Amino acid sequence: MQEPDPVKVWRATGPLVAGAIALVALIGGLGVWSIKARLSGAVVSQGMIEVETNRQVVQHPDGGVVGAILIDESDEVRKGDILIRLDGRQLRSELAIVNGQLYEIATRKSRLEAERDSAGEIEFPPELLEIAKRDEEIDRMMQGGRTLFEARKQSLEQEARLLSEQNNQIDKRIEGINAQLDSLQVQSDLMQSELDGQKELLKNQLIQASRVNELKREHAGLTGQIGRLEAEIAELRGQATSNDIALLQLKTERREEAVTTLRDLQFREIELVERRIDLEDTLSRLDIRSPMDGIVYNLQVFAEQSVVRAAEPLLYIIPQDQDLIVSTKIEAVNVNNVYVGQEASLRFPGLDQSEIPELRGEVTRVSADVVKDENTGMNYYNAEIMPFEEELAKLGDEKLLPGMPVDTFIETTERSALAYLIEPMTVFFRRAFRE
């Protein structure tokens, strides 16, 4: 018989040694890699595309009634183009009334100034004369002012003439009385001379005393008549003085009346001028114009004669010639790692990721203070990233539109892989064992 082959015994020493060597090499390699390899850090955030100048709201500060709508939704407009025209009929009517009141005041002021200065005729402002050539109503108003001025002037002259005639009559009466006084004075002098002679005769007892007494009575009567006439002259002169004062007072009252009315008209004129300026300013804003080049968006006015409230948004203009930027929100804990000039990578979830690569850009602005989201309660900082000009060429036919979402990766300093691995433990132990 043939003897069976002996059983082969496999030893595990070789594979175990090889596995141990491979494991040590793997662990060692990973350790060396974790220490030597440098990995770029990034602050990751969500953002969206905006234009450098945001959409511009179009409003009207006063509101009004729509007269004409000259654009439609999505129309392309240029800066200064008229978008909507408000109805200005009521404003123009009110402006015409205000102007009419101002012209009336100007006419009255010219008349009153002529009365104040005792002028012979009214001197109207040159601009009012020019307007009167085109406006019959203003011409009639000015003619009415002239007529009133002449009537008041004639009334004053007539009263002055009456007072002057009274004074002339008084002068004539005084002249007549003076003639009587002269006659009486002569008679008095003659009688006094005769009385003196009779007194000498009486003294020599050549005549009786009754004759002397009779002459004395007659002389006293003449003296009384002279006194009465002198008193009458004084009274007449007082009347003449009163007439002069009345004439002066009449002119003064007419002048004071003109000055007082002019002052009142001046205050009213100031109010009307201010109102006219406001109306003209409002009329100048009836044409609502585009503040920039762009596209009409979200038009809110659809029919003529509709009412527009003050400061109500009428439409928006989306600018088309502005640079695109990425606006993103940086969590408050990461803001120290973000600064202006920092490079970032941008991904666009709304575009085909297989064809559109990441774009490179640069942080151009970081808000100076934290902003709180009222909906979520999260605190964040606003940051803006501008894609590099040469990077936009990678988009090809694709268009970046305002509102598109963007994933942003703002690059921070490089660190080793080991630092990333042990950071959670480091943070944990920093916070551990604290009360």
pLDDT tens-digit series, residues 201-231: 767 766 677 776 777 787 787 788 888 888 8
Residues written for the chain? 435
**Is 19 inside any structural domain?**
no
Which of 198-207, 266-275, 321-330, 379-388: highest mean pLDDT?
A: 266-275
Task: Name which residue leads in pLDDT, 192 or 35.
Answer: 192
What mean pLDDT value characterizes the chain?
A: 83
**Is 33 inside any structural domain?**
no
**Is 253 inside any structural domain?**
yes
Nearest CA to 218 among 189, 178, 181, 177? 189
216, 350: one domain = no
Q: Which domain holds residue 386?
A: 39-53+322-429
382, 339: one domain = yes
What is the per-residue pLDDT across 90-112, written as a single tens digit (0 to 9) for each?
Answer: 999 999 999 999 999 999 999 99
**Is 16 inside any structural domain?**
no
146, 278: one domain = yes
Report whether pLDDT(170) > 80: yes
Q: Which residue in the block uniquely carries the two structure tokens 């007529």?
A: 147
114, 169: one domain = yes
Report whether pLDDT(2) > 60: no
244, 137: one domain = yes
Task: Name which residue leads in pLDDT, 398 or 234.
Answer: 234
What is the per-residue pLDDT across 277-289, written as a single tens digit (0 to 9) for each?
Answer: 999 999 999 999 9
The Cα 119–Cα 279 span in angstroms is: 36
- Give the pTM: 0.57
159, 113: one domain = yes
For the domain that residue 350 is a member of, what is the CATH number?
A: 2.40.30.170
Looking at 294, 318, 342, the residue that finishes a domain is: 318
Q: What is the pLDDT of residue 66?
A: 93
Q: What is the pLDDT of residue 36?
A: 58
Strand partners, 387: 361
For the domain that residue 293 is a member of, what is the CATH number?
A: 2.40.50.100
188, 160: one domain = yes
185, 257: one domain = yes
**Is 24 inside any structural domain?**
no
User: What is the pLDDT confidence band of residue 433, given thresholds at 50, 70 and 90?
Assistant: low
Report whether pLDDT(1) > 50: no
DSSP state at residue 390? H
Task: Name which residue leads in pLDDT, 87 or 53.
Answer: 87
Q: What is the pLDDT of residue 246?
A: 85
Which residues are within 8 A (CB) of 26 and not within 5 positions of it... i.e. 6 or more apart?
Answer: none
DSSP state at residue 298? S
238, 362: one domain = no
Report whether pLDDT(412) > 80: no
**Is 343 inside any structural domain?**
yes
In 224-240, which positions are buried (b, 16+ CB within 10 angstroms) versus exposed (e)?
Answer: ebbeebeeebeebeeeb
**Is 11 inside any structural domain?**
no
Looking at 297, 318, 339, the residue that finishes a domain is: 318
Mean predicted confidence (pLDDT) in 5-27: 68
Q: What is the pLDDT of residue 193?
A: 73
- State how many domains the chain has: 3
The pair of three-digit structure tokens given for residue 360, joined into one six-digit string: 């490179």
The Cα 133–Cα 128 span in angstroms is: 9
Crossing angle of the two packed helices 136-203 and 89-116, in degrees rounded to 10: 20
Task: Name which residue leads in pLDDT, 100 or 43.
Answer: 100
79, 95: one domain = no
Do the beta carbons of residue 328 and residue 408 sit within 8 Å?
Answer: yes
**Is 255 inside any structural domain?**
yes
Q: What is the pLDDT of residue 34?
A: 58
Q: Which backbone phi and psi does 116 adopt, to 5 degrees?
A: -60, -40
- Which residue pairs, CB below 8 angstroms and at least 24 apart, start in 106-110? 107/138, 107/141, 107/142, 107/144, 107/145, 108/145, 108/261, 108/265, 109/262, 109/265, 109/266, 109/269, 110/145
User: What is the pLDDT confidence band of residue 426, given thresholds at 50, 70 and 90?
Assistant: low
229, 106: one domain = yes
Q: What is the pLDDT of residue 300?
A: 92
234, 333: one domain = no
Q: What is the pLDDT of residue 231?
A: 86
Beta strand 307-308 with 82-86: parallel, antiparallel or unpaired?
A: unpaired
Do the beta carbons of residue 107 and residue 142 sit within 8 Å?
Answer: yes
Looking at 268, 300, 318, the residue that finishes a domain is: 318
